[in-house]
Structure 1
Amino acid sequence: MDPQVLWRHRSYVLYVAGQATSVAGSSVSSVAVPYLAVVELNASTLEVSLLAFLTQLPSLLVALHAGALADRHPKRPLMIGGDLACLVLLLTLPLAAAFDRLTLEQLMAVAFLQATAAVVHDAAAIAYLPTLLDRSLLQRGNSLLGGLFSLSATAGNSLGAALVSLLGAARALLADALSYAASAWCTTRIRIPEPPPPTRTGRERLRSEIAEGVRYVFADTTLRTLTLTNSTMSFALGVLNTVWALYLLRELHFTATAFGLVMGAAALGSCAGALSAPRMTRLVGPGPMMLTALILTPITQLPLLIASPGRSWQIAIGAALTVQLMCAAAAGTTQRSIRQMITTPRLQGRMQAVSTWLTGGSRPFAAPLAGAIGTLHGVRSALVAGTVLLLVPLVVLASSPLRSLRALPMTAADPGGDAPSAAEVPAAADPRLHQQEGKRQ
């Protein structure tokens, strides 16, 4: 399949442009918000953990409902509404800072509300991609999307470091606010009509639709395995990410510039992983490729655990993070494509919502755990605990039939949508999963 086909697909290009711009803006915030909390608002380890907890809590509280809404209603308005809500919320932070009224409590409230709006947006956005692209184009589409996301993150991290240094952390958030405006504008320009969603009303009906989505995912060997792998990986990363910025900024004495540059350089690894995912899938198969990525991930934590202040360790941490993000992007792009390919269209939103609920919803529990370990035993101990937890997703995938999956599925959409499209056959045993990848391209 010629990659140029996707660049001639106007609606896909608009979708990618909007989402990638938003990622760049969020990457500015990923530098500015920790710096704002830790350095300018003097947040303690416990307060940093609480901020992380509030940021992740909406995935647990509203993801399932967001997925059901994405299957019930047109997805574009949900995407646009989520972007505009994030725009307004973010603007309150530099405004409060301009009047010297910004507090840690306001930062936490905005983080929670923005994350809630983002969950609604993301549930619709991820479920919307299979509407734009034929299933034979999904892996390439996800691969290019992931690569551009990584480049956007690199640019955003570097821009974030520069803006924090030049303007201060609060004003730097204006770049993220503008990115949401650009994302909303791009989404309004997409003209491909969506299939009309079924007309349903009533709270009880919404609950039954949520329950149907949960049953759908856990009845399917492939969806269940990938969802549990993502969830356990997310919990481990939640422990690590809660104290990661604090560790680099306070104990390893990273400057804002070094912090942003390490994150930006590492994002190039994510780009390489996303773009190379289709080729690696063809060479070794999606199962072995994802398994290898999970093996390498805990190994890349070792430089961080033994590091001390100094430029050489900053370089080593950046290199290790590059490899880690390369693995994450290659595996993430592949597993998302598999899930989209085998899920019937009317359940795309709920399938993704179940994954988000378990994946993102595990992180609110990871944040207080990391905070407690960091407070009682030191931040390095929390990092050690997170590294050990990275072995759990490896065990989940290695214990499943997916470990030997040699080709992406070519499962047709289930018109009725009454059962998972591949639920009756374990993933590695389904002959449809062993078709040659080259036929898709």
Structure 2
Amino acid sequence: MTGQTASVAGSSVSLMVAPVLAVTQLDATTSEVAWLTFAGQLPPALLALHAGALADRSPKQKQMIAGDLVSAGAVATLPAAAALGELTLMQLMTVTVVQSAAKVLHDAAAISFLPSLVDRALVQRSNSRVGALFAVAATAGSHLGAALTALLDPARALLADVGSYLISASCTARIQSPPADEAAGGKRHLHREISAGLRYVHRDTRLATLTLVNASTSFALALLNTLWALYLLRTLAMSPTAFGVTLGIGTLGAVVGAWSAPSLARRFGPGPMMLTALALTPLTQIPVLLASPGLAWQVGIGAALVGQLACASAVGTTQRSIRQVVTNSDMQGRMQAASTWLTSSSRPLAALLAGALGTWLGVRPTLGIGACLLLIPLAVFARSSLRALREMPDPTPRPTRKGELAAPPPTPAPQGGPSVPRPVHTDEESHERAGKGDAP
């Protein structure tokens, strides 16, 4: 928890500082901002499945530490180049690609590690507390990024992210790994394991639905996030400090959403709660689309961001818990990877589309299109049986023998709603760190 919290805080510094660096110091155009976002979103689409399979076959701690150290080394080159007066947009894009690839490696192991550290009956509560803590860390990181940018400059502010990766690696090395996390021996075929993971998701109705919801949400949010910094910094004339503060205040919504998700799920049912949150998300974009320069609108945008991230966090922690409790321990990494791969594959396309539409139609109309796209995941979820799910699934999946994908027994129909089939094959997950809904 300590290491991951430090890493989230550091990543939030970069999340706030990198676009400021590109727009204010490297004079990035609309299309260049879109290409920068595209570069960061490409590695998850290409590497997620392999990273998930590796997480299931090798000690997760080593994979997490390797990702942290590679990220620290890559980000450290940016302030070094800036100090020498040699920083370019191409270097920023290259570092973004390397850092994103290392993050895929790290997160595939980190998310699938949690169910091995707590009893499965406590997974939802654990995800809720982890999500709330990460949201606080993200808020602190955004404020820290704004402060460091004002006191130093954007490039040197990135040193905070370098330090956070080193803290994360150090803490991860001290975790006493459960025996179940150790890799099984014998000859194994990576591509066969990847295929088994994809089948595991495809054959489960709930996970297939949640994956489609996540992918469509991810596409819409990626389109919005591509032009978010450009819109606030240029169209609405926000200062870098105000931009960071707005992100920081908005991220507090993720704390509320994550912390309240278990109680809301118990009171209203996981299905109705997620359906309501998905319905509210498009409405939170209205103040952003109507905004004009000025302090009052900056406050309104911050409030809208609070609502958006509260909904995203409540949905994220709940559906993450559903996936984890119904997935066998030897499939956790591939379950995560299948979701990450599908949702991440949509983001580079959304970034390119945002750049094209932003150049052709303008930034504000493009953001309006992104807001309308948020209606798609709502429609997908509303048409599924998950909308009436009144209780969390049985947290005791049946173990499988190596190489098998046996179907667990059916789950009884939940009280107050229709029967939702027990996973026949499960595989999915997302590590939605605060702020991006990266979903989602």
Which TM class, normalised by the smaller chain length?
over 0.9
Match of 1:228, SS? helix
Kindly report which structure 2 residues correspond to 1:223-238, keeping only aligned pairs within 5 A, or say none: 223-238=207-222
Determine which of 27, 45, 52 is the counterpart of 1:42: 27
State the match for 2:172 in structure 1: 187
Structure 1 residues 61, 259: CA separation in 2 closer, same or farther (over 3 Å shift)?
A: same
State the match for 2:183 in structure 1: 197
1:88 to 2:78 alignment: no
State the match for 1:323 in structure 2: 307
Determine which of 244, 255, 279 is the counterpart of 1:295: 279
State the match for 1:285 in structure 2: 269
Question: Does the aligned pair in 2 maintain the 1:411–1:422 contact within 8 Å?
Answer: no
Question: Does the aligned pair in 2 maintain the 1:345–1:413 contact within 8 Å?
Answer: no
Q: How far has the Cα of 1:20 moved from its partner?
A: 1.0
State the match for 2:319 in structure 1: 335
CA–CA distance in structure 2, aligned partners of residues 124 and 79 of structure 1: 6
Q: How far has the Cα of 1:374 moved from its partner?
A: 0.1
CA–CA distance in structure 2, aligned partners of residues 421 and 399 of structure 1: 25
CA–CA distance in structure 1, aligned partners of residues 253 and 219 of structure 2: 22
Question: Does the aligned pair in 1 maintain the 2:132–2:254 contact within 8 Å?
Answer: yes
Task: Give the counterpart letter for 2:222 in structure 1.
Answer: G
Match of 2:176, SS? coil
Q: What stretches of structure 2 of length at least 5 have no aligned partner?
A: 424-440
Q: How far has the Cα of 1:412 moved from its partner?
A: 1.6
State the match for 2:163 in structure 1: 178
Determine which of 95, 113, 131 is the counterpart of 1:128: 113
CA–CA distance in structure 2, aligned partners of residues 421 and 309 of structure 1: 56
CA–CA distance in structure 2, aligned partners of residues 169 and 423 of structure 1: 54
Structure 1 residues 23, 421: CA separation in 2 closer, same or farther (over 3 Å shift)?
A: farther
Q: How far has the Cα of 1:423 moved from its partner?
A: 8.8
Match of 1:410, SS? coil
TM (norm. structure 1) is: 0.92
1:137 to 2:127 alignment: no
CA–CA distance in structure 1, aligned partners of residues 33 and 94 of structure 2: 13
CA–CA distance in structure 2, aligned partners of residues 254 and 116 of structure 1: 31
CA–CA distance in structure 2, aligned partners of residues 210 and 257 of structure 1: 44
The CA RMSD over aligned residues, in Å, is: 1.6
Task: Give the counterpart letter for 1:354 in structure 2.
Answer: A
Question: Does the aligned pair in 1 maintain the 2:409–2:422 contact within 8 Å?
Answer: no
Match of 1:300, SS? helix
Q: How far has the Cα of 1:411 moved from its partner?
A: 3.8
Determine which of 368, 371, 375 is the counterpart of 1:391: 375
Question: Does the aligned pair in 1 maintain the 2:385–2:420 contact within 8 Å?
Answer: no
Structure 1 residues 48, 343: CA separation in 2 closer, same or farther (over 3 Å shift)?
A: same
Question: Does the aligned pair in 2 maintain the 1:219–1:423 contact within 8 Å?
Answer: no
State the match for 2:16 in structure 1: 31
State the match for 2:225 in structure 1: 241
Question: Does the aligned pair in 1 maintain the 2:328–2:399 contact within 8 Å?
Answer: yes
Aligned residues between the structures: 416
1:169 to 2:159 alignment: no
CA–CA distance in structure 1, aligned partners of residues 422 and 110 of structure 2: 28
State the match for 2:139 in structure 1: 154
Q: How far has the Cα of 1:422 moved from its partner?
A: 5.6
1:429 to 2:419 alignment: yes
Question: Does the aligned pair in 2 maintain the 1:127–1:352 contact within 8 Å?
Answer: yes
Q: Note the alpha carbon deviations across 1:251-309, whole angstroms, 9 max, x for none.
A: 00011111111111111110011001110010101100100010000000000111111
Structure 1 residues 403, 422: CA separation in 2 closer, same or farther (over 3 Å shift)?
A: farther
Q: How far has the Cα of 1:17 moved from its partner?
A: 1.1
1:219 to 2:242 alignment: no
The structure with more helix, counted as a fraction of residues: 1
CA–CA distance in structure 1, aligned partners of residues 346 and 54 of structure 2: 22
Q: How far has the Cα of 1:81 moved from its partner?
A: 0.6
* Percent identity over paired residues: 56
Task: Give the counterpart letter for 1:101 in structure 2.
Answer: E
State the match for 2:429 in structure 1: none
Determine which of 44, 52, 55 is the counterpart of 1:59: 44
State the match for 1:373 in structure 2: 357
Task: Give the counterpart letter for 2:4 in structure 1.
Answer: Q
Question: Does the aligned pair in 2 maintain the 1:143–1:275 contact within 8 Å?
Answer: yes
Task: Give the counterpart letter for 2:41 in structure 1.
Answer: Q
Q: Note the alpha carbon deviations across 1:299-322, whole angstroms, 9 max, x for none.
A: 000001111111111011100110
CA–CA distance in structure 1, aligned partners of residues 115 and 244 of structure 2: 34
Task: Give the counterpart letter for 1:251 in structure 2.
Answer: T
Task: Give the counterpart letter for 2:165 in structure 1.
Answer: Y
Task: Give the counterpart letter for 1:429 in structure 2.
Answer: S
Task: Give the counterpart letter for 2:74 in structure 1.
Answer: L
Match of 2:348, SS? helix
Structure 1 residues 35, 72: CA separation in 2 closer, same or farther (over 3 Å shift)?
A: same
Match of 1:180, SS? helix
